[in-house]
Amino acid sequence: MQTDLSNFIHTIRGEMLTIYSEQDLIAAMRDAAEKDTDMKDYYWRSWYFARKRFTKEDQLLAMYLYDTKDHLISSYRYNSVTYPKDIYKAEYDDNSDRVYDYVHGDRTDLMISGYHNSVAKKDIVRFVLKLHNYDADRNALGYLVCDINSAAFTSIMAKYVDVEQVCLWLQPLNDRVIAMTGEASESQRRIQKQLAKVVQSHYKSGELGQEYDGNYLIQVSQENYNLEAFVLVSQSLLTATQKTLIRTLLIIMGAMILAIMVIVLFVSQWMTKPVEEMSSTITRIKDGETQLRVQPVGWSQELTTLGTEFNEMLDRMQVMAQEELQHKMLVERTEYKMLQAQINPHFLYNTLDTMSGIANAQNCPMVSGMCHSLSAIFRYSLNMTDELSTVQNEMAHVRNYLYVMDVRNGSTIAYDYQIDSDTLADQMPRICIQPVVENALTHGLRNVRRKDKKLLIRSEHVNENLVITVQDNGAGMDAESMNRLLDQNDMKRVESGISIGILNVNARLKRLFGEKYGLHIESTAGEGTTVTITVPAVSTENSGGMENV
- Provide the mean pLDDT of the chain: 83
Q: Enumerate the β-bridge partners of residue 462.
A: 465
Question: In this prediction, what percent of the chain has a pLDDT beyond 90?
Answer: 33
Residue with the larger pLDDT of the pair 57 and 217 = 57
* Distance between CA atoms of residues 442 and 429, nearest Å: 22
pLDDT of residue 494: 57
- Helices assigned H by DSSP within 161-300: 186-200, 235-286
DSSP code for 424: T
Burial class for 200, CB neighbours closer than 10 Å (0-12, 13-18, 19+): middle
pLDDT of residue 455: 93
Quick check: 125 pLDDT over 90? Answer: yes
Domain spans of the chain? 2-152, 155-237, 386-536
Quick check: 517 pLDDT over 90? Answer: yes
Would the CATH topology of 155-237 be identical to that of 386-536?
A: no
Instruction: Name which of 543, 289, 252 is nearest 425 in CA terms.
Output: 543
Burial class for 303, CB neighbours closer than 10 Å (0-12, 13-18, 19+): middle
Buried b / exposed e over 125-144, threshold 16 CB at 10 Å, is bbbbbbbeeeeeeeebbbbb
Instruction: Name which of 144, 142, 151 is nearest 117 in CA terms.
Output: 151
Q: What is the dihedral of CA 110, 116, 119, 120, to 10 degrees?
A: 70
State the amino acid at position 326 in one-letter form.
Q
Torsion sign over Cα 506, 511, 513, 516: positive
The helix/strand/coil state of 180 is strand
Indicate yes or no: pTM above 0.75: no
What is each CA distance from 386 to 79, 286, 315, 382, in whole angstroms? Answer: 128, 35, 34, 11
What's the chain's length in residues? Answer: 549
CA angle (25 as vertex; 22, 26 as ends), nearest 5: 85
Quick check: 440 pLDDT over 70? Answer: yes
Close Cβ partners of 302 (under 8 Å, ≥ 6 residues apart): none
- The class level of CATH for 386-536 reads alpha beta
DSSP 269-293: HHHHHHHHHHHHHHHHHHTT-TT--
DSSP code for 527: T
* Distance between CA atoms of residues 133 and 141, nearest Å: 7
pLDDT of residue 163: 66
Strands 413-419 and 453-462, bridge-based pairing: parallel
* Distance between CA atoms of residues 292 and 191, nearest Å: 84
Task: Rank 185-199, 400-414, 521-535 by mean pLDDT and report only the highest.
Answer: 521-535
pLDDT of residue 545: 41
The separation between CA 202 and the C-alpha centre of its own chain, rounded to angstroms, equals 68
Instruction: Tell me phi and psi for residue 450, to 5 degrees.
Output: -150, 150
Comparing 5-9, 330-334, 376-380, 473-477, the range with the smallest average pLDDT is: 330-334
Q: Name the CA radius of gyration of the chain, rounded.
A: 60
Quick check: 538 pLDDT over 70? Answer: yes
Across the range 182-199, mean pLDDT stands at 79
- The class level of CATH for 155-237 reads alpha beta
Record: fold of 2-152:
Beta-Lactamase (3.30.450)
Mind listing the pLDDT tens digit for each residue in 311-366? 888 888 888 888 888 878 877 776 666 555 554 555 566 666 677 667 676 677 77
Cβ(436)–Cβ(531) below 8 Å? yes
Across the range 359-385, mean pLDDT stands at 75
The separation between CA 241 and the C-alpha centre of its own chain, rounded to angstroms, equals 47
Query: What region, left, alpha or beta, does residue 463 occupy, with left being phi > 0 and alpha being psi -120 to 50 degrees?
Result: left
Q: How confident is the model at residue 276 (pLDDT cuts 50, 70, 90)?
A: confident
Quick check: 112 pLDDT over 90? Answer: yes
Q: Which helix (H) or strand (E) holds 233?
A: strand 227-234
The half-sphere exposure of 398 on its side-chain side, counting CA atoms within 13 A, is: 28
